[in-house]
Structure 1
């Protein structure tokens, strides 16, 4: 198991980064939140998990171990694969997901593209006793603030990647933009847009 990677960021995509580790470029699939915090040339450490399939070996990377643990836990539910688990972490923090599961808050879980009411109920039923106690303190690690045009494009692309249409994504970004200030964080902007789309 590859638990983490440390190396120079060679490339940043909407849903992946390439880390150069020991001269080898490792493509790591990530949430839009983490991708938005990384820049080419910077040194980064990401928590990782390796998903093995018959025809592929795929690395998934996360900002911390809590995200990785939630990614792995959610996939123990029948019908939940890596893509859906990653979508959940794009919409919710690990603590938000744990809180929703522990309290059977299916409305919060169904905000994730690909999770319907029955799927949310199944996740709550199967994971309620596995997610543990949700801590009452502790904030998410701050994201890197970037300029407005870049955050708008990134959030729009991330929403499209999560299954929304380009028109829906653009409208959501336009609605939440004025309330986010001049240099919003990509993660905060993405959450605000998802909340707008979930109304």
Structure 2
């Protein structure tokens, strides 16, 4: 199993790159974010996962081992192949994926091309307990979890302004949850708050009509 590659970048395309490793040109499929960090003619290192089929062997490259771990965990979900798992990582960061899975946010996965509502729900159900947000160390200032939740919200598509306002409102509503520093629970509370605000807004619009 090839778990990493280091070599000279000889080609960077829209979906893949080639690294010259001791005279061997190794083709790796990767996300746009990973490919954006590669420069032709320069040395580069990528974490890799090899997918072996009856008629092919394909290498997938990642910026680090964390991305690879999330990729391999996604592959365990029924109906999710390597291309779709890579597409999820192209849309969300590993931590945003962990938080979406932990908070049951299936809409986050629906934003990925090729994943419908039913598929998104299945992903959330099958990832439950397998991907959890990085724990906040006791004693770390509150701003640490606030930054993590804000980053996750922005990764899920919310603007920084709306996400920050929702976090503040959620914390004010349930300070005991904020006191725990549990990123997953705080995110779930914040998403619920945004859902309630969205429902109120829709109701006001309907009444106005």
Q: Where on the TM-score scale, by shorter chain, does this alignment land: which range?
A: 0.5 to 0.7
The answer to whether structure 1 residue 18 and structure 2 residue 18 are counterparts is: yes
Render the CA deviation track for 1:43-74: whole Å, top value 9, x for unaligned: 00000000000000000000011110111100
CA-to-aligned-CA distance 1:95-125 (integer Å, 9 cap, x gap): 0011101101111111010111111111111
Instruction: Assess if the C-alpha contact under 8 Å between 1:52 and 1:58 holds in 2.
Output: yes
**Gap regions ≥5 residues in structure 1:** 140-199
Unpaired runs of 5+ in structure 2?
137-143, 148-209
Calculate the aligned-residue CA RMSD, in Å. 1.5
Q: In proportion to residue count, which structure has more helix?
A: 2
Greater length-normalized contact order (CA 8 Å, ≥ 6 residues apart): 1
Partner of residue 36, structure 1 = 36
Give the TM-score normalised by structure 1.
Answer: 0.67
SS in 2 for 1:9: strand
Q: CA deviation at 1:134?
A: 2.9
Return the offset for 1:132: 2.6
Aligned to 1:114: 114
* Number of residues of Structure 1 aligned to a counterpart in Structure 2: 139
Q: TM-score, normalised by structure 2?
A: 0.64
Aligned structure 1 segments of 4 or more residues deviating by more than 4 angstroms: 135-139
Per the alignment, residue 87 of structure 1 pairs with 87
Taking the aligned partners of 1:10 and 1:128, their CA distance within structure 2 comes to 40
